[in-house]
A and B are shown apart, each in its own frame.
Chain A
Amino acid sequence: MLSAPYAGKLLADAGAAVVKLESPAGDAARRYGPWPGDVPHPERSGLFLYLNSGKLGITANLETPTGRSILRRLAADSDVLVHNAPPSAMERLGLDYDALAEANPGLVMASISPYGLSGPWRDYRAYDINLAAAGGINEGLGEPEREPLTFGTPAVGYFAGMAAASSIVMALLGRERHGGQHIDIAEAETMAGLYNGPEALMAVYQWRVTRRTGHHALDFPYPNCILRCKDGYVFIGAPEGRQWRRLLEIMGMPDWSQEPRLRNRTTMNNLYADEVDAYLEAWLADYTKAELLEIALEHRIPLAPVRTFDEVRNDPSLADLFVEIERADTGPVSYPGVPYRLADTDAAAPAPAPTLGQHNREVLCDRLGYTGAELVKLYQTGII
């Protein structure tokens, strides 16, 4: 769905030859969407296409012995295997690390699971909202009188994918000395550890309990919030005193800013945020997001428009991030490309994501040595 495919995408973008193995029913991301013109089609799901561009695609039904033998033969012939099947599933199928490493001691295998390969929650099921809840993302999001919120679209899997891709390459760097390894990545821990470290340390050292504070920051110098402007919303922050003074100057040193009770900005945030929001929004109402970005650049103040996805796409500073990928059943579509830049390396557009089983012949026959007749039989019997 998300985590292992993102790891594979990072590796493919960096030049690895990645084979994506799906069940004959296809990756669940094929049924997630979005689709061109809102016409659902397993070959046109935006999430699937994004996460799997640049990969070869094969199918194998791992519930059958022959399907499992395809995976074993591929694993014996690969440097890396990354997956996000539940921990018990790979053991049940005899496809766990110990079994696969026996045939290929140099194999680096990364197992991504909701809570990891050990511990009392090992076999707990989870979707993105559960991982974000257990990982500490959600306790501070939302209005105090309403339910806590989570990410607007699934996000935890991206962090698990980043962790997998990074640790896989580290294991490859150490492979000559240490051989292959098994990597254990718990999606919840990508959130509950370092990501939410500041919250945890504030609890330990300053006895601060995280609370939901709507669009305001918790116990932080005002402003650090999203406010309404002429044509949308803008993030406005000023952690440094000089940034706040500059902002007040631009606003013409309004009277309210001179009131003694609004001198301490943390007090302002904690006690008077709604009141000051109204003052600031009255000023912001005269400016568009684009104008505020200009003001931010000119005066070096941390203002940042809350951009919708069409605006993100049209940002000239991201022009070379997006790549156009042509695929028979969608036509040309602009995708987000490699998420970092390398000097002297032009990021060529990757090949489009594979159709279901598109490279069965190429991988199974040309690489693993199945004959054409065997390939046909594998298809006819529902294995691929």
Chain B
Amino acid sequence: MTASDANSNGDGVPSGGAGALSGCRVLDFGWVLAGAIPGMALADMGAEVIKIETRQRLDYMRLGRPIVGDQPDPEQNPMFHNVNRNKLSVTLNIAEPAAVALAKRLAAHCDVVIENFSPGVMERLGLDYATLRAIKPDIVMASISSTGQDGPLRDLRAYAPSIGALSGLDSTMGYEGGRPLGFKHAFGDICGALHAVFAIAAALYHRNRTGQGQYIDASMLRATVATQGIGLMEQALTGRALQPQGNYDPTLAPYGHYPCAGDDQWVSIAVATPDEWRGLVTAMGSPAWADDDRFRSQYRRQRHRKELDELLAGWTSQQDAAAVTALLQTHGVAAAPVLSAEERLFHPHFIERGLYSDIDHPALGAEPIFNLMWGLSKTPSTVRRPAPLLGEHNRQILCGTLGLSEDELAQLVEQQVVY
């Protein structure tokens, strides 16, 4: 059964795309990053995703960095445009009971509800799962949070770096013997959001087979902890808690970043098998030191990895990072430069594969969009429309889908319910 086959909405076909989720409709209260990504993924796959937002309290990401121009402009944030492409925007000031009533009416037409307010907010608004299930019995609802919908950490103010700290992720990131340095990216947000995407898709599959809806409590902490299997199993099986060890893998040597010619240029090299080691030695022109007893087996290379690192760095520091990558790969050695943001954006491989597309946004013009991290052969993800302007689809959804009259809409706008 497909998503659309099970769509029981009485108002015609949702205006999503032609993808695998065509016919599926999503009510998306998600905001900022972790909350916006699941709706983005579903929209890319063809679902009609209605983003609920309000001028009363703008989605932070509309005002966040990067800032284009002299000051933040809610219509000019390229990261917001990335995680909200393909969505429709309806402005509902859900502090107003009349707006909550409209949201409930919309829920009746939806297959999925997504939110990432602080735990408890949806309940306070009267938009919790129990309420929505009474309106649409087979609804799939996903709540995304930092640390879960209940439990002692529920109300902790936590951002992506907090999740890195709490999950154990940060405890291994640093130089050997040094302090934990922490991650600079939103590992927890992306990890939590992608697990939520999976759980939503699986819940739709289950609904299509059984007619039962589902409530998903997706926490960034829980999702991030799941990616720490090695550290957690180490703790369970040996009693040891891993510490920072620099660029280290217990099975590989060399394994690290090696300096290249130029300013702050690096190549990553990793070697496991005898074939890979022979490839590396040949690529280097078979220097005498590579024959040394210390490096004769994987075991010995691992034991003498610091001396090995130094000798290898002596060779790489004479090489160009891109050229040495190509050379090593022709010899069957895993190597890649430490690419900068600009190098990634203009990288021929990523360009040829369409990792980024340029789309035209009415307020910002041509801008790069990061495509989904998967490619489907028959129903590829599509960017059908740029991210919506605030309230751009109020009329389409409130008059079209819900059947309000123009007068009713005008009145709701006047009352700042639709705001």
Binding site for B on A (CB under 8 A): 10, 14-15, 31-38, 44, 46-47, 49-51, 97, 110, 115-116, 118-121, 123-143, 146-155, 158-160, 162-167, 169-179, 181-186, 188-190, 192-206, 208-210, 213-215, 217-218, 224-226, 228, 233-235, 237, 239, 243, 293, 296-297, 300-302, 304-313, 315-318, 321, 330, 333-336, 339-344
Q: Check A148 against B345 for contact (C-beta < 8 Å).
A: no
B291 to chain A, nearest CB (A): 24
Complex Cα spacing A308 to B231, Å: 9
* Chain B residues whose CB sits within 8 angstroms of the CB of A311 once the complex forms: 168, 241
Inter-subunit contact B20/A171 (CB<8 Å):
yes
Q: Are A316 and B152 in contact (CB under 8 A)?
A: yes
The stretch from B93-101, B217-225, B402-410 touching chain A is B217-225
**10 additional contacts, CB 8 Å, given A181-B377, A341-B148?**
A34-B237, A135-B344, A142-B175, A159-B373, A173-B205, A202-B66, A204-B78, A304-B163, A317-B148, A336-B229
Q: Known contacts A193-B355, A317-B148: does B249 contact A182 (CB below 8 Å)?
A: no
Q: Which of B49-57, B300-308, B327-335, B389-397 contacts A (4 or more CB under 8 A)?
A: B327-335
Q: Which residue on A lies nearest to B235, using beta carbons?
A: A309
CB-CB under 8 A from B1, the residues of chain A are 176
Among B147, B156, B349, find the residue whose CB has the most chain A CB atoms closer than 10 A: B349
Residue of B nearest to A193 (CB): B370
Name the contact of B249 in the complex, choosing from A129, A188, A192, A197 (C-beta under 8 A). Answer: A129
Partner of A120, one of B186, B268, B349: B349
A352 to chain B, nearest CB (A): 13
| B373 contact from A134, A163, A172, Cβ within 8 A | A163
Measured between C-beta atoms, what is the minimum distance from A153 to chain B in Å? 4
B41's closest neighbor in chain A, by CB? A166
Interface residue? B289 (CB, 8 A): no
A194-B370, A235-B165 known; A34+B233 contact, CB < 8 A: yes
Known: A34-B233, A149-B174. A204 touches B66 (CB 8 A): yes
Does B359 belong to the interface (CB within 8 Å)? no
Bound Cα distance from A301 to B216, whole angstroms: 27
Asked if residues A10 and B198 are in contact (CB atoms below 8 Å), the reply is yes
Neighbour of A171 across the interface among B227, B259, B336, B376, CB < 8 A: B376
A residues within 8 A CB of B5? 176
B121 touches A (CB below 8 Å): no
A and B contact pairs by CB, cutoff 8 A, 21 listed? A14-B199, A36-B238, A110-B374, A119-B350, A127-B252, A130-B268, A139-B340, A149-B181, A152-B172, A162-B195, A181-B379, A188-B336, A200-B341, A204-B66, A304-B165, A308-B171, A309-B171, A309-B234, A313-B235, A317-B221, A339-B195
| Contact of B180 with A233 in the complex, beta carbons under 8 Å | yes
The answer, among B154, B170, B266, B378, for a CB contact under 8 Å with A181, is B378
- Inter-chain residue pair count (beta carbon < 8 A): 487
Q: How far is the CA of A35 from the CA of B108 in the complex (A)?
A: 52
Write out the residue numbers on chain B whose beta carbons fall within 8 Å of the beta carbon of A154: 230, 249
Specify which chain A residues have a CB less than 8 angstroms from the CB of B91 in the assembled complex: none
Most buried by B among A173, A307, A334: A173
Contact A51 B229 (CB under 8 A): yes
Question: Is B386's CB within 8 Å of the partner chain A?
Answer: no
B337 at the interface (CB under 8 A from A): yes
* Chain B residue, CB-CB nearest to A192: B344
CB nearest neighbor in B for A147: B257
Partner of A165, one of B153, B198, B241, B334: B198
Nearest-neighbour CB distance to chain A for B344, whole angstroms, equals 5
- Would you give the shortest CB distance from B173 to chain A, in whole angstroms? 5
The interface residues of chain A lying within 8 Å CB-to-CB of B79 are 197-198, 201
- B251 contacts across to A, CB distance below 8 A: 31-32
* A166 & B198 in contact (Cβ 8 Å cutoff): yes
Choose among A10, A139, A226 the residue that contacts B170 (Cβ–Cβ < 8 A). A226
Number of interface residues of B (CB under 8 A): 153
Could you tell me if B247 and A309 are in contact, using CB atoms closer than 8 angstroms?
Answer: no
Verify if B124 is at the interface (C-beta below 8 Å from A).
no
A211 to B228, CA, bound (A): 26
Q: A138 to B338, Cβ gap below 8 A?
A: yes
Chain A residues with Cβ below 8 Å from B165 are: 226, 233-235, 304-307
The listed residue with most A CB atoms (<10 A of its CB), out of B187, B223, B250, B335, is B335
Q: A127-B272, A205-B78, A237-B162 are in contact. Are A159 and B228 (CB under 8 A)?
A: no
Q: Which residues of B contact A304 (CB under 8 A)?
A: 156, 158, 161-163, 165-166
Question: Residue of B at shortest CB range from A344?
Answer: B215
| Cβ of B42 to closest chain A Cβ, rounded Å | 8
A148 vs chain B, min Cβ distance (A): 5
Given A46-B233, A129-B270, A341-B222; A309-B336 close (CB under 8 Å): no
A311–B368 alpha-carbon span in the complex (Å): 41
Give CA–CA (A155, B246) in the complex, Å. Answer: 15
Q: Are A131 and B345 in contact (CB under 8 A)?
A: no
Are B222 and A321 in contact, with the CB atoms below 8 A? yes
Q: Is the CB of A183 within 8 A of B334?
A: no
Distance between Cα atoms of A130 and B377 in the complex (Å): 27
- Chain B CB within 10 A, most for which of A149, A171, A201, A304: A304
Contact residues in B for A215 (Cβ distance below 8 Å): 179-182
A195-B350 in contact (CB<8A) = no
Query: Do A235 and B164 touch (CB < 8 A)?
Result: yes
Nearest CB of chain B from residue A365's CB, rounded to whole Å: 29
> Could you tell me the distance between the alpha carbons of A319 and B179 in the complex, rounded to whole angstroms?
28
B37 near A: Cβ within 8 Å? yes
What 0/1 readout, one digit per residue, does chain B (340-356) give for beta carbons within 8 Å of chain A?
11101101111011011
What is the CB-to-nearest-CB distance from A193 to chain B, in angstroms, rounded to a whole number?
A: 4
Please give, as numbers and ranges, the residues of chain B lying within 8 Å of A50 by CB-CB distance: 229, 232-233
- Taken together as a complex, chains A and B put the C-alpha atoms of A151 and B371 apart, in Å, by 24
Whether B151 contacts A173 by the Cβ 8 Å rule is no
Closest to B182 in A: A226
Determine the residue in chain B with the shortest Cβ distance to A178: B378
B184 A340 Cβ-Cβ under 8 A = no
Return A297 CB to nearest CB of chain B, in Å. 6
Contact A133 B268 (CB under 8 A): yes
